[in-house]
Amino acid sequence: MIALYWERFRQNKLAVAGFIVIAALTFLALAAPWLSPKDPSFQNLIERLQGPSRLHWMGTDDLGRDVFSRLLLGTRISLSVGFVAVGIEAVIGVTLGLCAGFFGGKFDTFVMRLVDIMLSIPTIFLILAVLAFLGPNIYNVMAIIGLTAWPGLTRLVRGECLSIREREYILAAKGAGVATGRLLFVHLLPNVVAPILVSVTLGVGGAILTESALSFLGLGVQPPTPSWGNILSIGRDYLHIAWWLSVFPTAAILMTVLAFNLLGEGLRDVLDPRT
């Protein structure tokens, strides 16, 4: 079965390209402190706003810091936010979706009304309001993105569970007296892994995009810690004289989000060919 999935995945060139890009970015994120040619925090006002050169491959910013080194470290920050936020989303969304779909009744109604309420609130405004109250830092950004992204996954998992819970092997397990926890996480969960995996993969790209937007607005990762969003925010003020401050972080965001989207679509085709 794994060999069949791999063969299907390998035939999707765009998904393979997305996987390669994500693997390369993950390597860069892990090795950023050793690969950075300069200290990302070192300021040299004499070299401020210099264009790309052999000494500074992607130029320097308004404080003379090496943009390439800051982008490398920003890769670690952005991927960390994406993975942690989606991890929080997955824990909440999968647990609530499984329980709502399996138990039904009043609990299902309560969860679905809560999902409806969350989906009716503009997410970006909710995030901005919470961060304005708690204060902007990387940990709050991870938490608030994860805590606002779970409704869609909950609805997806619930829908899958509603179609699975009446199947013969689930009814047989119930009749055999299998514990509820085992029914949920051993019998139900493995059968909804495919849509969860696709949703989570697509969600990482969305979380990175949200973090970049928040950092661009000054409510995400705070300087001097570099992130793609706050590097882009500096570039906004110097767009007419320092194009590299906007082009390179924009390209990094675009490439990363596109790679996760291509991988997610590829996994969807592989794991559920009917779609």
Per-residue buried b or exposed e for 124-151, using 16+ beta carbons within 10 Å of the residue's own CB: eeebbeebeeeebebebbbbbbbbbbbb
Residue at 112 is within a domain: yes
Domain coverage including residue 108: 66-271
Q: What is the pLDDT of residues 195-254, one digit of tens each?
A: 888 889 989 999 999 889 888 888 888 888 888 888 888 888 888 888 888 899 999 999
Q: pTM for the whole thing?
A: 0.86
**Total number of domains constituting the chain:** 1
Per-residue buried b or exposed e for 82-95, using 16+ beta carbons within 10 Å of the residue's own CB: bbbbbbbbbebbbb
Residue at 177 is within a domain: yes
**How high is the pLDDT of residue 20?**
94
What's the mean pLDDT in 123-143? 83
Count other Cβ atoms within 10 Å, centred on residue 123.
Answer: 16
User: The domain that contains 81 carries what CATH number?
Assistant: 1.10.3720.10
**How high is the pLDDT of residue 12?**
82
Nearest alpha carbon to residue 158 among 121, 199, 108? 108
Q: What is the pLDDT of residues 52-82, one digit of tens each?
A: 888 888 888 888 898 999 999 989 988 999 9
Residue at 76 is within a domain: yes
**How high is the pLDDT of residue 1?**
59
**How high is the pLDDT of residue 53?**
85
In whole angstroms, what is the distance from residue 42 CA to residue 194 CA?
Answer: 45
Residue at 47 is within a domain: no
